[in-house]
Chains A and B, each alone.
Chain A
Amino acid sequence: MEKSKWMEMYRIMRLIRLVEQRINDEYKYDEIKTPIHLSIGQEAVAAGVCIHLRKDDYIFGTHRSHSQYIAKGGDIKKMIAELYLRKTGCARGRGGSMHLVDPEVGILGSSAIVGGNIPLGTGTALASKLLNNDRVTVVFFGDGAVDEGTFHESLNFAALKKLPVVYVCENNFYAINSHQLSRQVGDNIYKWAQNYGMPGFQIDGNDVLEVSDYAEKAISRCRNGEGPTLIECLTYRWKGHIGTVDDVGEGYRPREEYEYWVSKCPIKRFSEFLKDQGVLTDELIKKIDQEIYDLIEEAFSFAQNSPKPSPDELMDFVYAD
């Protein structure tokens, strides 16, 4: 991978982290009147995958999809405006944090129904095949979605039709407070791929280079008409399931587990690597952060100063023209 892409991945991860930290900080003012699910700690997955996608490729996210929206190049101002439920939001205030959209860059909408986006992304991949183009779809979902029938039904169909879709499972071990092993007999989600007739891998989702490596191969398989791949990325969310809570040590999850994963912070690891490679310096880190802070400031002030929808618009968009 070219070094310019390293820097881009770094920037994206930092962007996700700092945007989400700002959301976290602003949430207490109750102006972001929508449930939020932060991806802090999981940034490497979206960044490592989306770096290989073209603007016209599709992604589908979940209730927790700020990171994918940002990594795919979704408009940040419109995203923050959507969190503030403004007219200028990406979904014009009808969606909120769980329903981000930016068709310009192939984001056709995220679903807050666990597993609900998996068929949708399989369907855009079907469209690529029927239209005979080489657009790839990536579907992001959690370990919880693997409990759902849609995961199994969709993988079966995608393999059957050799569809250009990459299934990226962000396994953070929890669905709300329920651990993977209380819902599934094994801890090998990637193994489902074998019986559905596609390659499956379990990788370190906090190592952006490893994610990027596997994603690149899976995406090029798609472009070459070789069909789908399942990539299970082991990762961890630092915050509680929803909102801004810190739930560590409150009986939900053990502190040691949390501390282990924080020590594996994907951004820290990657920035150390980049420093070792001599492409990142403390000065550069500061410069990149400053650019990001400016961008965030601009997005939040755009959002906070944007108008809210008016009640007479209530019935707009129920049907498309």
Chain B
Amino acid sequence: MPWTTVQVEKLDNFFIMGDHTGDRVLTYRDALREALDQSLARDPRVFIMGEGVDDVAGVFGTTKGLKEKYGANRVFDTPIAENSMTGIAVGAAMAGLRPIFIHARMDFLLLSLDQLVNHASKWCYMFGGKVKVPLVVRTISARGWGSGAQHSQCIQGMLMNVPGLKIVAPATPYDAKGLMISAIIDNNPVLFVEHRWLHKTTGYVPEEVYSIPIGKGVIHRRGEDVTIVAVSYMLVEALKAAEKLQESGISAEVIDPRTLKPLDEKILVESVAKTGRLIIADTGCKTGSVASEIAAVAAEKAFHFLKKPIKRVCCPDTPTPTSDVLEKAFYPTAEDIFAEAVSLVRE
């Protein structure tokens, strides 16, 4: 069993109430698998490639059985050559296909930045809109069980600096399915950021094909005293914190931007206008993080609404340690969000 699976199996089940209600409950993993399955079925241009995408485990279950269903031309394993495989996907996209390229770890994405940043993201602009690159790159950040410094990075903040790249980071099963479908339909390169600890979370997911607009955030919980913007897995921690805050008489509004680029600035500014206090929780290291960018937007566009300084709850600026003791010290949790919220509201 992959080591992160050991860790994920130990997690509590976490049910996330999405936008959507209904009677059909899926895990994030199965929601993703369903989005891929339905997209392969309805569009012959879609195909999936990446290391191990066609093996028995099927990228933590998200591509399981798809090769059997759609054949080895549409779901195939690749050599361990992240940069060129990215470029190859980009070339296929230019020629009219809709590739989905998967990195089982976000860390491996770093080897592909030449093709992702220098090529895929610039092609449309550099050629005056004449060639488009409808590509989806899925990356999964792991955490825990000693994943260590090279198997747990969350570098989405770094990539927000790349013009021409769209970045989505769904946290709920409903959003995972809808945003995967949107990412596939989109005519631009879309980085699809997943967190391993989200794969097991559950929520309501409709069976039909639906899309969620890229660039639109969502309010998960309405509140008056403090805004908590939470990215990717940090949504789970933020919702736990909000629950506990309520018990302490503090009403927190929890927002998931869902898309990191282009960012939904409106939802952020409107919420801060109401609460006057802002906490941003991101899975990445603090400096140059998504939280940094959101803080900058708030400072530019919501400064006069702010009653207190903005707080960022992120990992510290250190490589991820492997020791379980240090790991625990490294990752921020609901407790940290709770503590920041209490100090913003009470002090």
- Residues of A that sit less than 8 Å from B by CB: 58, 60, 89-95, 99, 101, 103, 108-109, 111, 113, 116, 118-128, 130-131, 137, 149-150, 153-154, 156-157, 160, 316-321
**B126/A120 in contact, CB under 8 A:** no
**B127/A94 in contact, CB under 8 A:** yes
Kindly list 17 other residue pairs between chains A and B, CB separation below 8 angstroms, not including A101-B127, A119-B90.
A109-B94, A109-B130, A116-B118, A119-B86, A123-B89, A123-B92, A127-B95, A150-B84, A150-B87, A153-B79, A156-B81, A157-B79, A157-B88, A317-B125, A318-B163, A319-B188, A320-B134
Q: CB-CB < 8 A to B90: which residues of A?
A: 119-120, 123
User: Please, could you name 18 A-B residue pairs with CB atoms under 8 Å apart, sorted by A?
Assistant: A101-B130, A109-B127, A109-B131, A111-B119, A123-B88, A123-B91, A123-B92, A126-B91, A127-B91, A127-B92, A130-B73, A130-B74, A130-B92, A153-B84, A153-B85, A317-B128, A319-B164, A321-B187
Bound Cα distance from A17 to B83, whole angstroms: 35
Bound Cα distance from A121 to B119, whole angstroms: 12
Does residue B96 face the partner (Cβ distance < 8 Å to A)? Answer: yes
| Smallest CB separation, B137 vs chain A (Å) | 14
Bound Cα distance from A94 to B129, whole angstroms: 9
| Smallest CB separation, A198 vs chain B (Å) | 15
Which B residues from 177 to 202 make CB contacts under 8 A with A?
187-188
Q: CB-CB < 8 A to B92: which residues of A?
A: 123-124, 126-127, 130
**A316/B47 in contact, CB under 8 A:** no
Bound Cα distance from A128 to B88, whole angstroms: 12
Q: In this complex, what residue of A is CB-closest to B121?
A: A318
Bound Cα distance from A89 to B126, whole angstroms: 12
Q: A120-B91, A317-B124 are in contact. Are A153 and B81 (CB under 8 A)?
A: yes
**Taking each of A92, A126, A154, A157, which has the highest tally of chain B beta carbons within 10 Å of its own beta carbon?**
A126
Does residue B108 face the partner (Cβ distance < 8 Å to A)? Answer: no
| Cross-interface CB contact of B84 among A90, A113, A118, cutoff 8 Å | A118
Q: A108-B94, A320-B187 are in contact. Are A122 and B132 (CB under 8 A)?
A: no
Q: CB-CB < 8 A to B127: which residues of A?
A: 90-91, 94-95, 99, 101, 109
Does residue B78 face the partner (Cβ distance < 8 Å to A)? Answer: yes
Q: CB-CB < 8 A to B258: which residues of A?
A: none
**B91/A113 in contact, CB under 8 A:** no
Q: CB-CB < 8 A to B87: which residues of A?
A: 116, 118-120, 122-123, 150, 154
Q: In this complex, what residue of A is CB-closest to B94?
A: A108
Q: Closest 9 CB pairs between A and B?
A: A123-B91, A119-B87, A92-B128, A153-B84, A127-B95, A153-B81, A320-B132, A123-B88, A120-B91
**A130/B47 in contact, CB under 8 A:** yes
| Smallest CB separation, B259 vs chain A (Å) | 13
**B96/A120 in contact, CB under 8 A:** no
Does residue B4 face the partner (Cβ distance < 8 Å to A)? Answer: no
Q: A94-B127, A108-B94, A122-B87 are in contact. Are A318 and B164 (CB under 8 A)?
A: yes
How many residue pairs at the A-B interface have CB separations less than 8 Å?
A: 150
Does residue B40 face the partner (Cβ distance < 8 Å to A)? Answer: no
Does residue B151 face the partner (Cβ distance < 8 Å to A)? Answer: no
**B124/A93 in contact, CB under 8 A:** no
Q: In this complex, what residue of B is CB-closest to A82?
A: B128
Does residue B93 face the partner (Cβ distance < 8 Å to A)? Answer: yes
| Smallest CB separation, A112 vs chain B (Å) | 9
Bound Cα distance from A90 to B128, whole angstroms: 8
Does residue B123 face the partner (Cβ distance < 8 Å to A)? Answer: yes
User: B83-116 CB contact bits vs A (8 Å, 1 = yes)?
Assistant: 1111111111111110000000000000000110
User: B187-231 CB contact bits vs A (8 Å, 1 = yes)?
Assistant: 110000000000000000000000000000000000000000000
Which B residues from 313 to 336 make CB contacts under 8 A with A?
none
Does residue B29 face the partner (Cβ distance < 8 Å to A)? Answer: no
Q: CB-CB < 8 A to A124: which residues of B?
A: 91-92, 94-95
| Smallest CB separation, B76 vs chain A (Å) | 9
Does residue B143 face the partner (Cβ distance < 8 Å to A)? Answer: no
Does residue B166 face the partner (Cβ distance < 8 Å to A)? Answer: yes
**B88/A103 in contact, CB under 8 A:** no
**A58/B130 in contact, CB under 8 A:** no
Bound Cα distance from A124 to B83, whole angstroms: 16
**A95/B96 in contact, CB under 8 A:** no
**A120/B125 in contact, CB under 8 A:** no
| Smallest CB separation, B256 vs chain A (Å) | 22
Q: CB-CB < 8 A to A101: which residues of B?
A: 127-128, 130-131
Q: A113-B114, A150-B83, A153-B85 are in contact. Are A95 and B91 (CB under 8 A)?
A: no
Q: A113-B118, A320-B188 are in contact. Are A123 and B96 (CB under 8 A)?
A: no
| Cross-interface CB contact of A157 among B85, B94, B115, B131, cutoff 8 Å | B85
Q: CB-CB < 8 A to B83: which residues of A?
A: 119, 149-150, 153
Bound Cα distance from A216 to B120, whole angstroms: 31
**A95/B163 in contact, CB under 8 A:** no
Bound Cα distance from A54 to B128, whole angstroms: 24
Bound Cα distance from A103 to B90, whole angstroms: 15
| Smallest CB separation, B213 vs chain A (Å) | 14
Q: CB-CB < 8 A to B85: which residues of A?
A: 119, 153, 157
**A119/B115 in contact, CB under 8 A:** yes
Q: A150-B84, A153-B85, A319-B124 are in contact. Are A120 and B119 (CB under 8 A)?
A: yes
Bound Cα distance from A110 to B200, whole angstroms: 43
Bound Cα distance from A305 to B12, whole angstroms: 68
Bound Cα distance from A221 to B60, whole angstroms: 40
